[in-house]
A and B are shown apart, each in its own frame.
Chain A
Amino acid sequence: MIEMFEEWYKSRHEYAKEWKDKTGGKVMGFFCTYVPEEILLAANVLPVRILGSHEPQNVTEPHIFGMYCPFCRDCLAQGLLGRYDYLDGMMIAQSCLHIRQAFTSWKKHMPPEFTYYLPMPHQVQSPRSIPFLRSELETFKGAVEQWVGKEITDADLDRGIELMNASRQAMRDLYDTRKSANSPMTGLEAMYAAASNQWIDKAEHTAAVREALAKELVGRDLGLGDKTRLMILGSEDDDTAFVNMVEGCGSVIVTDDHCTGSRYFWNQVEPEEDRLLAIAKRYINRPACPTKDWPQRTRLEHVRMLAQEWNVAGAIIIQQKFCDPHELDIPEQRKSLGEIGVPTLFLELDVTVPVGQFKIRVEAFLEMLAEEDLF
């Protein structure tokens, strides 16, 4: 079962096309994890997170100025290269500026039949943001209803909420297994599971996670007990080659704070009569992305909690080159982890990673952590 996640990660386009053939349903590409997938699931739409392919490309230069993050350019490249040509819709929830450009350029040059910009508020720490988001969700729901030609009832919303909540709980349980001193899964496997969860049919993915938890992971011994426990955090990161390299140096990654990882599934919708309000509260209260983490820095506490509960020896802070939102958090993040005795290694990612160069730095970091252990 565990290998299924890797397969899904690698065959995302084939999967979505087959899903369409099988169900006759619509596929919605989305750019940011603040997109309320509950509403899409309620409309029987398959939400598919758009990610890059980590290959060099030469198609985005006329569209996005080079000072924006490589991730947004990689995503746009997928659109311009026609890799997501099966999308029926495409949307974004107001995110950082960078990825917005990928969305708007894509929309301009290769528009699918439905596009949507959801003005997800930034001031999530203000109580004013909940009624505002609720109202935006209502408008969005109306737009989806028009698009799919069908009313979304409360029962539909309940189904969407249940599917998302079940998936989130399953992923939380999966991540919890990694708290064990001898994690039954590698960081790479977890990355495949977490990333593929963003485009595979939720029920199917949840079933796979549940099956892995029940059958495969119980008593599984990969000999990871004596490896150095690390966490990764920072900008968008689904760089499997990088994770593979880090774990190849004698470490195991046991948790993360990435939008492609734990931030995506962390908290649940708490059901209440007003479904849209319940959904709005979930997105407002989720672990924040740095662009929304102000005036208080709530991320620091959340990341410390992850580091402590998953008992990590060190953290690798990853930043996509030019990723301003994370650049604005990283100095405080390093300080905060340092205060609880978690040393950090800072690495800057580009579309492709200079694995050899990074390997030397990761090895030195692990050596330093081993020395700290000694004294």
Chain B
Amino acid sequence: MANYPTETLLSWSKAKEIRETYYKNYAAAHDKGGIRWVGGAWTFDAVPAGLGGNVYSLTSEPYGASCAFNKDFSTRAMEAAETAGYARDLCAYMRNYWGSILMDEYAFGGPFPKPDFIWQDHICCSHAKWYQVVSELEGGIPMFCVDVAVGPAEPFGTLTDSKIDYVTGQILDGIEWLEKTTGRTYDDELFIEACWNDFRSTSRWAQVCELNKAVPAPLDEKTMYSLYVLATLQKSWGVVADYYDELYDEVKDRVERGIAAVPNEQARVMSDTQPPWSALKLFRYLEQYGVVSVGSLYTFGLEGMWDFDPATGDLVPRPMPEKKPTTREEAARELVRWHLHKPEYQHFYDCDYKSQMMVAICKNWGLSGVMLHYNRGCEGLSLGIAENRLAIQEAGYPVMTFEGNMGDEREFDLGRTMQRVDAFMETLGVKKVAA
């Protein structure tokens, strides 16, 4: 039985601090003469950064997840959304978020801070519509949304000039809209810097995840959730980019010294889609079997930037652009080109692209099996998941599925899921070990 040394991640508390500061900054923005905007975790947050230093955002998915941690709050929010006529099977994050507005309660205390404008992007059917409703619920706040659904990037498709032009054009229009909406003058230097930070954060996060190929894995997925979240908050924030550099050094050091996330690691798995946030103990339960979840395409690729290499069948962190853009147009184009390669965008066009990337993780991160969360809360990321299951099985990896909901705990049964885990562990041939 392996028994690796383990240590607490030193930079963990810093991640927590950054997260807290982020939410506080948003709530207190107006007190400091700043402005507040809201948008999704995938939005081009580097763009509003050009409006000045005191511009604060609230991204909706991590906010929805934060609500989900607090069962009482989340249940009340969901019920408020349902009472307002919104169907119970809609995106659970969205309902948590709308519920917060309807109840006028911020999950971190106090009334829900009203945004000054909305800056969103759109690939999941719910993205733009989410904020259309937010705008209405808030009495008509201005909204701008960029459509990024232009088809797959290389190697699954080709990002032609016209595709890049379409998205870039919307961003450039958006900058003019931001100036008009806020009455501020746009600062291209700040924008360029924010783009650069975005590239840094998202490529560095991929490198951190790559380190998890090591045996024993230096990080487990539950910890990774607390780390990747910073990129979902504001990937273009220098503080986040700097933090990921620091994290990378620490994780690399853990690999060199053989520090494990799970000391008795004897098998490795991955998950998929957002977990049921109110039941993360599921991951701790795996540890009783000496099983570590080393991540997923979701934790790696929601914000991390990778290239899939069909020749080697591996996912590799996307190298940073060679030079810093120098003009607004250049920066916007580079930002678009960069983000359209996001692994989590590709499956919106074909489940097979996702299957190929998932099998790549199975092979290259040395997995024994896969646990797929059939997530009723997210139509975007559960897209094609049944086909992913078939493809991963075909590639020779056992798959366990469990139904749940990332943000609506009324649709998750922890006891039953643990029983499924027990059965799956038998398939993998691992037995419970002393913790």
Contact = CB atoms under 8 A, between A and B. Distances in A.
B143 interface: yes
A135 B160 CA distance: 10
A322 interface: yes
A67 B376 contact: yes
B122 A122 contact: yes
Nearest to A294: B128
A139 B151 CA distance: 13
Contacts of A67: 89, 374, 376, 379, 382
Interface residues of A, number: 47
A290 B127 CA distance: 12
Interface in B111-162: 122, 124-126, 128-129, 131-133, 135-136, 143-147, 149-151, 160, 162
Interface stretch (B60-68, B277-285, B343-351): B343-351
Given A62-B390, A119-B151, A126 B173 contact: yes
A61 B128 CA distance: 29
A186 interface: no
Contacts of A321: 89
Contacts of A108: 351-352, 387
B359 interface: no
Interface residues of B, number: 51
B225 interface: no
Interface string A111-127: 00000010101110010
Majority SS at the chain B contact face: mixed
A122 B383 contact: no
Contacts of B227: none
Contacts of B379: 67-68, 97-98, 324
B128 to A, nearest CB: 4
Given A122-B149, A132-B150, A294-B129, A101 B351 contact: yes
Interface stretch (A50-58, A154-162, A328-336): A328-336
A63 B386 CA distance: 5
A325 interface: yes
Contact of A328 (B126, B143, B147, B387): B126
Contacts of B86: 327, 331
Contacts of B429: none
B384 interface: yes
Nearest to B376: A67
Contacts of A319: 87
Contacts of A126: 147, 169-170, 173
B84 to A, nearest CB: 7
B107 to A, nearest CB: 23
A322 B380 CA distance: 13
A129 B166 contact: yes
A139 B158 CA distance: 12
Given A96-B125, A297-B132, A324 B165 contact: no
Contact of B374 (A65, A104, A128): A65
Given A123-B122, A129-B166, 15 more contacts: A63-B387, A64-B386, A65-B374, A67-B379, A101-B383, A107-B350, A117-B350, A122-B122, A122-B147, A123-B146, A136-B162, A295-B132, A324-B87, A324-B89, A324-B126
Interface of B: 84-87, 89-91, 122, 124-126, 128-129, 131-133, 135-136, 143-147, 149-151, 160, 162-163, 165-166, 169-170, 173, 348-352, 374, 376, 379-380, 382-387, 389-390
28 contacts: A64-B386, A65-B386, A67-B374, A96-B125, A104-B350, A104-B351, A104-B384, A104-B387, A105-B384, A119-B150, A119-B151, A121-B149, A123-B145, A126-B147, A126-B170, A129-B147, A132-B162, A294-B145, A295-B128, A295-B132, A295-B143, A322-B89, A324-B87, A324-B379, A327-B90, A328-B90, A331-B86, A334-B85
Q: Which 5 A-B pairs have the closest CB atoms?
A: A123-B147, A135-B162, A132-B166, A331-B85, A119-B151
